[in-house]
């Protein structure tokens, strides 16, 4: 009942028909309109707000799949929770038995605007996308926050029948999903419980490369920071400091990754597109950057059989349409009918 009341409250708070695509055009330095109602303690160093479709303070034997949906740069977890729910309903029987989880990586402006408790975790406006440490109350990486979610899901007392976890993100959330697929340490806890994990990377502005080569070499040559994290392996944050780039690449190649790319996400002047020289060295727009990255990874590793690239035909930079498309439902729920693999 609590989850249903929360969903209804969010739906009433949203402007009817407002699309995630339009919202992504807005500045990200404004406070969020709604803060998620649930909380998770991250290593006792702070509390992470999040939305949950079921109360996980009690055993959930009916849950066989958990789907973590990561919001974009506006930190608008409320809207992504609506999209997650819409996708689950659209999946029909495939969506039954799924727990939908939408964490919220807040900024200082959000904490101040909503007068949140001092123990609420908050990051810089975009630092959470690359796993940087929180600004307060303790320097906890956003990736550690995801580790804490996976640790909770690996608890067989709460999830005795959980078989799969999906970490999915669109736009800024897609950046988090791609970097966490490289760096994340939480997968080991799931593996010990024989729980599979998949990463779904939808329409991010950029990717983390493992080599110094870039699709647009001329731009890279004139861009001093083009290979710094989160674009490359130089100057990685502390969370990644204990592994070499080679070890990180090997781990990434072994993990199951689906790149979801909207065929119409081709605007080089999109307001929310990363237009830094670091990003432009990866290609002119998101669709091109995604295919260039997947091709580069396959070439470097003589194929990447655990990685798949799915085109979502006729969709641009729209999180709701990406997640609820046939390929989105296939990536999240293993529903049939995608046909977008290239």
How does pLDDT run across 232-290, given as a tens digit for each residue?
999 999 999 899 999 999 999 999 999 999 999 999 999 999 999 999 999 999 999 99
Look at residues 204, 165, 207 and name the one whose alpha carbon lies nearest to residue 319.
204
Find the angle CA(271)-CA(328)-CA(252) to the nearest 5 degrees. Answer: 85
Q: CB-based contacts of 109: which residues, under 8 Å, 6+ apart?
A: 29, 30, 31
pTM of the model: 0.93
Confidence label for 20 from pLDDT (cuts 50, 70 and 90)? low
pLDDT at residue number 339: 85
CB 112 within 8 A of CB 135: no
Give the tens place of pLDDT for each residue, 171-230: 999 999 999 999 999 999 999 999 999 999 999 999 999 999 999 999 999 999 999 999
DSSP 8-class letter at 228: B
Look at residues 73, 68, 64 and name the one whose alpha carbon lies nearest to residue 100.
68
Kindly report the number of other CB atoms within 10 A of residue 57's CB atom.
9
The four Cα atoms 202, 204, 209, 214 give a dihedral, to 10 degrees, of 120
Mean pLDDT, the chain, whole residue set: 93
Average pLDDT over residues 58-86: 96
């Amino acid at each position: 009942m609590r989850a249903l009341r929360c969903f209804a409250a969010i739906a009433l708070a949203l402007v009817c028909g407002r699309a995630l695509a339009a919202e992504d055009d807005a500045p990200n330095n404004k406070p969020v309109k709604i803060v998620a109602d649930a909380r998770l303690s991250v290593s006792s160093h702070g509390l992470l707000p999040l939305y949950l479709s079921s109360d996980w303070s009690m055993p959930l034997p009916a849950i066989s799949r958990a789907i973590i949906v990561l919001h974009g740069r506006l930190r608008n977890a409320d809207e992504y929770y609506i999209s997650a729910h819409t996708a689950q309903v659209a999946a029909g029987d495939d969506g039954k038995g799924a727990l939908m989880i939408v964490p919220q990586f807040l900024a200082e402006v959000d904490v101040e605007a909503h007068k949140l408790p001092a123990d609420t975790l908050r990051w810089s406006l975009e630092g959470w996308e690359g796993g940087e440490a929180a600004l307060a109350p303790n320097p906890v990486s956003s990736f550690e926050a995801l580790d804490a979610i996976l640790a909770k899901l690996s608890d067989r007392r709460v999830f005795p029948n959980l078989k799969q976890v999906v970490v999915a993100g669109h736009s800024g959330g897609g950046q988090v999903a791609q970097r966490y697929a490289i760096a994340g340490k939480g997968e080991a806890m799931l593996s010990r419980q024989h729980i599979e994990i998949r990463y779904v990377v939808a329409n991010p502005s950029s990717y983390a490369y493992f080599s110094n080569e870039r699709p647009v070499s001329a731009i890279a040559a004139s861009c001093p920071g083009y290979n710094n994290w989160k674009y490359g392996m130089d100057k990685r944050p502390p969370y990644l400091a204990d592994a070499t780039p080679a070890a990180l690449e090997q781990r990434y190649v072994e993990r199951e990754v689906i790149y979801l790319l909207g065929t119409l996400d081709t605007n080089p002047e999109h307001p929310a597109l990363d237009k830094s020289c670091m990003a432009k060295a990866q290609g002119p727009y998101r669709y091109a950057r995604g295919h260039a990255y997947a091709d580069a990874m396959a070439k470097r590793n003589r194929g990447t059989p655990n990685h798949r690239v799915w085109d979502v035909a006729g969709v641009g930079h729209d999180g709701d349409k990406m997640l609820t498309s046939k390929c989105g439902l296939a990536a999240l729920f293993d529903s049939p009918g995608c046909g977008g693999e290239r």
